[in-house]
Amino acid sequence: MIVILGAAGQTGTAALRRLKAMGVPARAMVSRAESEDKVRSAGASEVVIGNLRSAADVRRALAGASRVYHICPVMSDAEIPIGQNVIAAARAERVDHLVFHSLIHAQVDALLHHRDKRVVEGLIIESLVPYTFLQPTMYMQNMLWEWDNITGRGVYRAPYSAAARMSLIDLEDISAVAAKVLTEPGWDGGGFELCSGDNLTREEMAATIGQVLGKPVRAEAYSIDEWRPIGAKTRTPFQVERVATMYAHYDKHGLAGGNARVLAMMLGRTPTTYREFVARVARERGAI
């Protein structure tokens, strides 16, 4: 049995859809009963409702599991304790393969949530549970937060420099890789940086979007202080501070890097480009 932890988020539901298309059953763990219909619609054959912070709940979710995809909630203040719960349950259930959804540049301590992923990676290695680390870069889908501004006002805004160069990946490519790693032998023991090869500034992203939509789109930056009340509407104070720290790092250093050959090797094809992603979204949303 394949188990997806943190299954209700965009990464988990994408993985469930991919496994469903392959005819592979999967159990989903979600934190709220309200998410059950969502993950069943995405492809979950079983659903466990529980809290990743609870060792007993995680053990219950992993009962009889052979392969596990651990996706911790974004910017969690319990990333490391949750990782410890997952490791303990994986060892107790003698899981054959633990796939951990990590992040690119986990070596950079200034990116605090990336650093926490690195700590969990180390704990997994020391646990002796067979593992794979998937280390994706920034999702192309992040652009969708600004879709209404982009299509309505022709502006792509974010609270860091529009000239910062960012490495990108399509979530659909991540889900394809995750499904492959979860269903094929031979991927254990590896950490794989997942990047499309597009390292673009937001100015370049805006130009690409404009070319696809057939109208001008410009990039704008605004301050982190201006972003804070916006972020506070959907995030905890802990998450707001973590995101603010991340944006400050992006403003100074960007998030460039990664080698597309890794993703291409795992996919068995050329990774999705940013232009292809934008064109797909525009068609799906009736913008072209």
Q: What stretches of the chain show up as alpha helix (H) in DSSP?
A: 10-21, 36-42, 55-61, 79-92, 112-127, 147-153, 171-183, 202-213, 224-231, 237-253, 260-267, 274-284
Number of other residues whose CB lies within 10 A of the CB of residue 64: 9
Domain edges within the chain: 2-137+170-194+257-267
155 in helix, strand or coil? strand
115: left (phi over 0), alpha (psi -120 to 50) or beta: alpha
Q: Per the structure block, which two tokens stand in for 206? A: 């805006």
Q: Are 133 and 190 in contact (CB under 8 A)?
A: yes
Please tell me the predicted confidence (pLDDT) of residue 257: 87
Please tell me the predicted confidence (pLDDT) of residue 178: 98
pLDDT tens-digit profile, the chain (288 residues): 999 999 999 999 999 999 999 999 999 999 999 999 999 999 999 999 999 999 999 999 999 999 999 999 999 999 999 999 999 999 999 999 999 999 999 999 999 999 999 999 999 999 999 999 999 999 999 999 999 999 999 999 999 999 999 999 999 999 999 999 999 999 999 999 999 999 999 999 999 999 999 999 999 999 999 999 999 999 999 999 999 999 999 999 999 988 999 999 999 999 999 999 999 999 999 999
The number of residues making up the chain comes to: 288
Could you tell me which CATH number the domain at 2-137+170-194+257-267 has? 3.40.50.720
Of 95, 97, 70, 74, the residue nearest 190 (C-alpha) = 97
Of 77, 88, 217, the residue nearest 143 (C-alpha) = 217
pTM over 0.85: yes
Burial status of residue 286 (CB atoms within 10 A of its CB: 0-12, 13-18, 19 or more):
exposed
Please tell me the predicted confidence (pLDDT) of residue 52: 98
Please tell me the predicted confidence (pLDDT) of residue 222: 97
255 in helix, strand or coil? strand
Q: Are 163 and 223 in contact (CB under 8 A)?
A: no
Of 113, 47, 109, 107, the residue nearest 75 (C-alpha) = 113
